[in-house]
């Protein structure tokens, strides 16, 4: 679909894009210097907008971390007076202070444009009815998509999170054609639809959904597409970078275009902090280019991905990043083996006999640390004991091949694992520290 929201900027030449980035980087540094945090950092390291003569000069600036945001809670990072800010979003965090992100009116308008650009890219138009199943509080998936969809001109249904039966009623009554939904909830929504005798292909007009906010495998995406009879596009965002819309798949579904007029993306080795070549996995580091209220420079996202080399057939020149394997903090280290929950999901989702909800528990048994994987069976499956045993053996074999360790596997009935209203919690770590 070669039709763009902002053709000039989406298909800009790399040279012109880099010139634009350099100019925006200089003004971002000048803007950031107005905040207490960056003012001190720049003073200490002799950094100024005038000193930046190429994009490579960005590398001489220290990283900014989530810890910096926490220490400067709530307003220490703001680069404009509070009276010029119109909104803040805060993410709670499990320990210590939460983080705060401030927005001016221009920041909010920019963000809406960024989201509208993504939605347009996947074929959402003003004749669509767009239902947003995200929470509308501090979580940016609510208001972020709301403003983007309104700018695009779609009819929006701000259903917000929860109450699945009500979601289904809205989808049917209002003729929703598009959804924004987190992947773990998409499979649940589909399950409840089938339980209620609603076949999404026959009884709804759904055709495109935007899924994001949590890691999910390609297998999970395919499953969602099949269950709901839609195309599902991966949407990446984080509150520190506004929220949804930072990077988004186009209809090629071959990685997420990261909007490089809004951010400079670097991929670094999280240990050496040096850049890694395209195609190699590392931590995504982002610098905002248009933020007024709270610019962030070289922000360490902790998200692991890589730049996908090569051009995209859609004609957009903004580079693509790969589906996220998870955050560096999600990595499980068990018996000296490093692995990500998404590797487990990838295997589980290949079994049609399994449902979509699973839970990984790490626990100490005697002197050793073990992994228990509980996964719900799909409705379609038998309760014949011998068949279940055979299935469990086959899944365990595949998991062992992938993970290089043998987890304990428990197949459980549909609906018996806990469900979260927001992002799914896939791992429970109950290991003793000694």
The residues that touch Zn ion, with contacts defined as CB under 5 A, are 250, 252, 312, 314, 316
3-state secondary structure of 370: strand
Which residue, chain included where needed, has tokens 């596997």? 409
- Pick from 240, 338, 234, 218: nearest CA to 285: 240
**How far apart are CB 370 and ligand AMP at their closest, in Å?**
26
**How far apart are CB 94 and ligand AMP at their closest, in Å?**
12
C-alpha to C-alpha distance for 312 and 376, rounded to whole angstroms: 38
3-state secondary structure of 146: helix
**How far apart are CB 55 and ligand AMP at their closest, in Å?**
24
Q: Which of residues 182 and 250 has its CB atom nearest to Zn ion in the complex?
A: 250
**How far apart are CB 122 and Zn ion at their closest, in Å?**
10
**CB-CB neighbours of 201 under 10 Å:** 12
The stretch near ligand AMP (CB under 6 A) out of 51-59, 211-219, 261-269, 332-340 is 211-219
**How far apart are CB 312 and Zn ion at their closest, in Å?**
3
Q: What share of the chain is helix, strand, coil (3-state, %, to 5)?
A: 35, 25, 40
Determine if 250 is a binding residue for ligand AMP (CB under 6 A): no
User: Could you please report the per-residue DSSP string of 242-284?
Assistant: -SEEEEEE-TT-SSEEE-TTTEEEEEE-TTT--B--TTS-EEE
Residues 6+ apart with CB under 8 A from 5: 116, 117, 120, 121, 152
Determine if 234 is a binding residue for ligand AMP (CB under 6 A): yes
Residue 189, token pair as written in the block? 């929504």
Determine if 140 is a binding residue for ligand AMP (CB under 6 A): yes
Determine if 169 is a binding residue for ligand AMP (CB under 6 A): no
The stretch near ligand AMP (CB under 6 A) out of 57-65, 151-159, 163-171, 230-238 is 230-238
**How far apart are CB 283 and ligand AMP at their closest, in Å?**
11
Q: Which of residues 178 and 250 has its CB atom nearest to Zn ion in the complex?
A: 250
Query: Which entry of ligand AMP, Zn ion, none binds 318, CB below 5 to 8 A by partner kind?
Result: none
Query: Which entry of ligand AMP, Zn ion, none binds 301, CB below 5 to 8 A by partner kind?
Result: ligand AMP
**How far apart are CB 363 and ligand AMP at their closest, in Å?**
25
Cβ-count burial of 393 within 10 angstroms (0-12 exposed, 13-18 middle, 19+ buried)?
exposed
Query: Which entry of ligand AMP, Zn ion, none binds 239, CB below 5 to 8 A by partner kind?
Result: ligand AMP
Between the alpha carbon of residue 124 and those of residues 111, 237, 278, the distances in Å are 17, 19, 31
**Greatest extent of the chain over all pairs of C-alpha atoms, in Å:** 72
Range 342-401, binding ligand AMP (CB under 6 A)? none
Query: Which entry of ligand AMP, Zn ion, none binds 399, CB below 5 to 8 A by partner kind?
Result: none
**Which positions touch ligand AMP (CB under 6 A)?**
91, 140, 212-215, 234-239, 301, 303, 324, 327
């Amino acid at each position: 679909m070669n039709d763009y929201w902002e053709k000039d900027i989406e298909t800009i030449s790399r040279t012109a894009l880099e010139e634009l980035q350099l100019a925006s980087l200089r003004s971002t540094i000048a803007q950031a210097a107005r905040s207490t945090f960056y003012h001190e950092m720049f003073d200490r390291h002799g950094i100024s907008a005038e000193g930046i003569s190429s994009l490579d000069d960005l590398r001489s600036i220290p990283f900014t971390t989530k810890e910096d945001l926490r220490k400067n809670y709530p307003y220490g990072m703001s680069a404009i007076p509070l009276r010029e800010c119109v909104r803040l979003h805060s993410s709670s965090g499990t320990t210590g202070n939460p983080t705060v992100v401030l927005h001016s009116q221009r920041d909010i308008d920019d963000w809406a444009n960024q989201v509208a650009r993504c939605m347009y890219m996947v074929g959402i138009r003003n004749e669509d009815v767009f239902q947003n199943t995200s929470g509308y509080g501090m979580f940016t998936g609510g208001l972020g998509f709301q403003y983007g969809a309104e700018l695009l001109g779609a009819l929006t249904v701000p259903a917000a999170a929860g109450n699945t039966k009500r979601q289904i009623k809205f989808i049917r009554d209002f003729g929703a054609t598009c959804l924004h939904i987190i992947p773990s909830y998409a499979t649940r929504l589909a399950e409840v639809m089938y339980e209620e005798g609603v076949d999404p292909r026959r009884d709804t007009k759904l055709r495109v959904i935007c899924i994001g906010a949590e890691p999910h495998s390609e297998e999970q995406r395919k499953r969602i597409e099949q269950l709901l009879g839609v195309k599902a596009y991966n949407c990446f965002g984080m509150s520190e970078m506004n929220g949804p819309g930072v990077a988004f798949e186009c209809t090629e579904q071959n990685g997420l275009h990261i909007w490089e007029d809004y951010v400079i993306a670097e991929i670094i080795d999280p240990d050496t902090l040096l850049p890694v070549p395209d195609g190699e996995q590392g931590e995504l580091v982002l610098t905002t280019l248009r933020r007024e209220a709270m610019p962030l420079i070289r922000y360490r996202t902790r998200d692991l991905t890589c730049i996908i080399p090569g051009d995209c057939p859609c004609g957009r020149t903004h580079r693509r990043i790969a589906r996220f394997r998870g955050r560096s903090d999600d990595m499980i280290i068990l018996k000296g083996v490093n692995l990500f929950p998404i590797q487990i999901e990838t295997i589980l989702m290949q079994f049609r006999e399994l449902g979509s909800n699973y839970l990984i528990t790490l626990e100490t048994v005697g002197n050793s640390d073990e992994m228990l994987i509980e996964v719900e069976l799909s409705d379609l499956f038998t309760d014949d004991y011998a068949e279940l045993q055979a299935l469990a053996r086959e899944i365990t074999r595949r998991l062992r091949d992938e993970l290089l360790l043998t987890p304990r596997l428990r197949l459980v009935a549909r609906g018996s694992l806990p469900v979260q209203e927001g992002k799914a919690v896939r791992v429970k770590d109950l290991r003793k520290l000694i």
